[in-house]
């Protein structure tokens, strides 16, 4: 019981630290980032997202947790990538293309991008920046240690998805918290139910889905 309480407190501290880092990143983006030149700004936009990995990586090193323990696999890499791309396309069709065609484009999103390089950069930023950091923390690290504490898969899925949703309240609203929480649950179900769907698959699905919103809003 003492060990479980200790692990719970450590995990709560990890989540608080992660939110503190997230707030710091948002403040940096809003108040400092624009002072840099465009090439440096583009690079920093991706690199600073990796700050969100500091907490889970430090925790995993202390606990001697391996990448495979949080959902990564070195088997069937091509299948993992294709699964991620397929999930992204399905999500984009249902939640971006169809709503836009039905006249709800303003609810889907907006963009000022017009140049091809901007859309290419968006895919890189969303995938190896945002999605990598968020998936490793929420669907990897947080899920694994919630499961260790409670031994209930659905408890770990729901709690980690709710925390994922709440992380978007900082620069979003209640609707975004709700939708991202559901998205988190969906990603968990994909990894649980789809053979060879790994953490890599979810990173690709998450990143490409986000980037496709920008692209589809611009072209449809």
Separation CA 23–CA 41 (nearest Å): 18
With pLDDT > 90 as the criterion, what percentage of the chain qualifies? 82
Is the pLDDT at 39 greater than 70? The verdict is yes
Is the pLDDT at 125 greater than 90? The verdict is yes
Is the pLDDT at 50 greater than 70? The verdict is yes
Domain boundaries, the chain: 2-219
Separation CA 17–CA 125 (nearest Å): 23
pTM of the predicted protein model: 0.95
Separation CA 13–CA 11 (nearest Å): 5
- Give 61-74 as a 3 state SS string: HHHCCCHHHHCCCC
pLDDT at 2: 67
pLDDT digit string, tens, across residues 163-211 = 999 998 887 778 889 999 999 999 999 999 999 999 999 999 999 999 9
Cβ contact 140:60 at 8 Å: no
């Amino acid at each position: 019981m003492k060990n479980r309480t200790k692990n719970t407190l450590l995990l709560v501290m990890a989540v608080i630290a992660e939110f503190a880092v997230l707030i710091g990143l948002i403040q940096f983006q809003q108040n400092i980032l624009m002072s840099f030149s465009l090439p440096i700004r583009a690079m920093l936009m991706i690199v600073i997202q990796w700050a969100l990995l500091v907490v889970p990586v430090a925790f995993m090193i202390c606990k001697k947790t391996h990448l495979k323990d949080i959902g990564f696999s070195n088997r069937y890499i091509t299948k993992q990538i294709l699964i991620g791309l397929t999930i992204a396309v399905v999500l984009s069709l249902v939640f971006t293309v169809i709503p836009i065609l039905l006249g709800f484009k303003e609810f889907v999103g907006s963009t000022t991008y017009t140049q091809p390089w901007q859309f290419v950069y968006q895919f890189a930023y969303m995938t190896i920046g945002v999605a990598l950091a968020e998936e490793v923390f929420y669907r990897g690290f947080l899920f694994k240690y919630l499961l260790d504490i409670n031994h209930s898969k659905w408890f770990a899925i729901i709690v980690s998805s709710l925390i994922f949703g709440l992380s978007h309240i900082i620069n979003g609203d209640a609707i975004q918290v709700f939708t991202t929480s559901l998205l988190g649950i969906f990603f968990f179900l994909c990894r649980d139910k789809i053979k060879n769907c790994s953490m890599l698959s979810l990173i690709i699905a998450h990143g490409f889905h986000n980037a496709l919103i920008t692209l589809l809003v611009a072209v449809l």
